[in-house]
């Protein structure tokens, strides 16, 4: 069974966890085993009774209410552009460190384009930006990028990692889910429309209950059904497979929105965080009757009704190989399970929430929602969960806000204020700037949960706009750049590398939405590549594309010889180089000046010009001696291929 980031691995051990709160359960199980029988048992639910969270539990940094203070007073106030800078500079000044100066405009333009759009600057964009002398030139540029439809495509792909999105079920048959792509389309539209993040959260859990007439809300529920599910089941596995499916839903909800490994409490009380098994099963209960189904609806970009994969209740269910053998898809009740074993039921679980994220003075009735009059199709248990999750005053909303602003920081800066983006529990890293994290979360909530103003706040800060210069003294004081005194270099992700290659070679198809493709030769953006779990795109995997099995908050970044060989020797890499060469309508030095501008947004340096001329001359001679009639053009293709293989092309300063 797959586990989320931060989960302990021995969750099915027969040894009780140290300090476990489940001693009554252990005694009951022991009694059953001593009696010589081990059959399905339904035991009193009171065995899962637990004490309320302690004051120490509630005092842990991520469980506390937001502590939103004013940005601190700093010595070098002229360096600061907004409150973000004051928090960063205050810590630097305490350590006697200085921040870097502002990067040049070419570096800033390229950085922002990839940050927000995942694409290189367009031809002529750098010249226009360099000729703009208004003090608001940079903030105006950021606003233009945020308004681009390409922004939604870029940030949808980030969230697809978190949501473990794929368009097949995994396991043996890896059956296709042909209408799952609508969830991806929802993400693109939601980010472009700056859907408030609290509604973004609620819709993914219960859009079918909260806004049943809104096509986007229905598409959003694809979040719950995006996980793996086996296609080969025996009758003895039906119920345990359903509990595995429910575990996937609640585990992904936990890491995606709360940054907590809730799934670790399936078999015993969480070993590190104050999450008892009782809380886990009460959360699971919210999804008891939720299953994958399909419904016909029409979004703004569709010209006709389309079948959409949703996760709801009371709809026709998706077919399964075991249907002919009575596979039930769901059970009407969720039980507390001792050690996660479906043979050891201990009473029915009703809907509830994580007690450590409920204010002591609040009652759970605050979030319980009843179905409206005449509504019978769904239970509104998921709507209740969604309400608690986004309640800032009494529920989990403060942690949800911390987690999402940290994700934004992570993608813009290469590392989160909390490095473990999916784990805000005791096994995760502590925030480097907790006061800044809470201030950003407060700004998000104060601004109506809209993400674009937070993007703007981060990108217009001086800390984002720093250059990458390093020196030995400051490195000795802060080797890992935890205090953000310089801008770290970042390698592009697989999607941005592929999209950049398509863009600079003028092959990028801008068509948005709709069915994707398994064919890597298609020229649409990488967000539209079909994600089939048993057939992941090979060149994407070279650059650390995730396996789409569990939520991924932070991708691995490897450097391997096969990555370089993909640029040097592959047919695909050569094709990009040919297309780029075709784009160069000029001759001589003007041609490779144009190539450098397209690929790197700069002109070649003097030393590069000399090397380029020598390279072209040698390559052309080699091809002429070989009898090639297109020697000059082939040499230019070689140069373009070398250019696209440069580190500078796939790294952002």
Lowest mean pLDDT across 145-149, 568-572, 644-648: 568-572
Residue 173 pLDDT exceeds 60: yes
- For the stretch 264-296, pLDDT in tens is 999 999 999 999 999 999 999 999 999 999 999
pLDDT tens across 624-637, in order? 999 999 999 999 99
d(CA 381, CA 359): 20
Sign of the alpha-carbon torsion through 153, 156, 157, 158: positive
CB proximity list for 489: less than 8 A, separation 6 or greater: 468, 651, 652, 653
* Closest listed residue to residue 441, CA positions, set 480, 411, 400, 477: 400
Averaged pLDDT for residues 76-82: 96
Q: What is the model's pLDDT at position 46?
A: 53
Position 304 scores a pLDDT of: 79
Closest-CA residue to 244 (of 29, 12, 23): 12
Query: What does the pLDDT read at residue 589?
Result: 82
Residues of the chain with pLDDT > 90: what percent?
Answer: 86
Q: What is the mean pLDDT of residues 194-201?
A: 98
pTM across the whole model: 0.91
pLDDT at position 607 over 50: yes
Phi, psi of 222 (to 5 degrees): -60, -20
Domains in the chain: boundaries: 23-63+164-389, 564-652
Cβ atoms of residues 464 and 139 within 8 Å: no
């Amino acid at each position: 069974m797959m586990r989320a980031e931060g989960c302990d691995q021995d969750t099915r051990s027969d040894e009780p966890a140290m300090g476990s709160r489940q001693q009554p359960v252990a005694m009951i199980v022991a009694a059953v085993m001593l009696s010589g029988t081990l059959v399905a048992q339904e035991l009193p639910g009171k065995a899962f009774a637990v004490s309320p969270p302690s004051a120490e539990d509630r005092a842990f940094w991520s469980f506390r209410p937001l502590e939103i203070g004013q940005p601190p007073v700093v010595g070098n106030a002229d360096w600061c552009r907004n409150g973000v800078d004051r928090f960063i500079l205050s810590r630097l000044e305490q350590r006697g460190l200085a921040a870097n100066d502002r990067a040049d405009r070419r570096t800033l333009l390229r950085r922002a384009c990839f940050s927000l759009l995942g694409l290189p600057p367009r031809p002529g964009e750098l010249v226009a930006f360099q000729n703009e002398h208004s003090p608001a030139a940079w903030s105006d540029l950021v606003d233009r990028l945020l308004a681009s439809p390409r922004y939604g495509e870029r940030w949808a792909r980030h969230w697809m990692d978190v949501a473990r999105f794929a368009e097949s079920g995994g396991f043996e048959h890896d059956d296709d889910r042909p209408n799952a792509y609508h969830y991806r389309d929802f993400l693109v539209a939601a980010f472009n429309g700056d859907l408030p993040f609290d509604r973004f959260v609620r819709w993914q859990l219960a859009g079918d209950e909260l806004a049943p007439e809104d096509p986007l809300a229905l598409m959003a529920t694809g979040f719950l059904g995006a996980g793996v599910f086996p296609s080969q089941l025996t009758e003895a596995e039906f119920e345990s497979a359903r509990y595995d499916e429910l575990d996937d839903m609640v585990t992904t909800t936990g890491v995606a929105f709360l940054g907590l490994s809730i799934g670790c409490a399936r078999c015993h009380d969480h070993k590190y965080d104050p999450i008892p098994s009782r809380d886990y099963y009460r959360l699971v209960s919210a999804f008891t009757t939720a299953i994958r189904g399909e419904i016909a609806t029409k979004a703004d970009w569709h010209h006709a009704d389309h079948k959409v994969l949703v996760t709801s209740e009371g709809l026709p269910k998706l077919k399964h190989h075991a249907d002919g053998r009575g596979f039930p898809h769901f059970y009407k009740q969720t039980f507390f399970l001792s050690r996660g074993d479906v043979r050891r039921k201990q009473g029915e679980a009703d809907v509830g929430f994580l007690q450590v994220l409920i204010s002591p003075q609040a009652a759970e009735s605050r979030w319980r929602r009843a179905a409206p009059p005449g509504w019978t199709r769904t239970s509104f248990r998921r709507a209740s969960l969604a309400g608690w999750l986004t309640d800032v005053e009494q529920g989990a909303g403060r942690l949800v806000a911390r987690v999402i602003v940290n994700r934004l920081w992570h993608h813009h800066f290469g590392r989160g204020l909390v490095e473990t983006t999916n784990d805000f529990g005791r096994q995760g890293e502590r925030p480097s700037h907790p006061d800044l994290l809470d201030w950003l979360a407060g700004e998000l909530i104060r601004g109506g949960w809209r993400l674009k103003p937070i993007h703007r706040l981060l990108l217009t800060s001086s800390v984002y706009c720093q250059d990458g210069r390093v020196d030995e003294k400051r490195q000795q004081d802060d080797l890992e750049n935890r205090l953000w005194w310089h801008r770290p270099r970042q390698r592009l992700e697989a999607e941005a590398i592929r999209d950049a290659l398509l863009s600079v070679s003028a092959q990028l198809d801008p068509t948005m939405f709709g069915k994707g493709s398994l064919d890597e030769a298609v020229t649409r953006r990488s967000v539209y590549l079909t994600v089939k779990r048993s057939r992941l795109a090979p060149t994407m995997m070279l650059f650390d594309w995730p396996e789409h099995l569990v939520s991924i908050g932070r991708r691995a970044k490897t450097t391997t010889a096969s990555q370089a060989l993909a640029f040097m020797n592959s047919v695909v890499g050569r094709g990009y180089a040919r297309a780029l060469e075709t784009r160069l309508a000029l001759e001589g030095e003007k041609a490779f000046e144009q190539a450098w501008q397209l690929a790197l947004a700069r002109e070649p340096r003097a030393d590069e010009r000399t090397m380029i001329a020598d390279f072209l001359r040698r390559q052309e001679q080699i091809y002429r001696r070989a009898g090639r009639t297109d020697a000059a053009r082939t040499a230019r293709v070689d140069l373009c291929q070398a250019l696209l293989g440069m580190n500078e092309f796939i790294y952002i300063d």
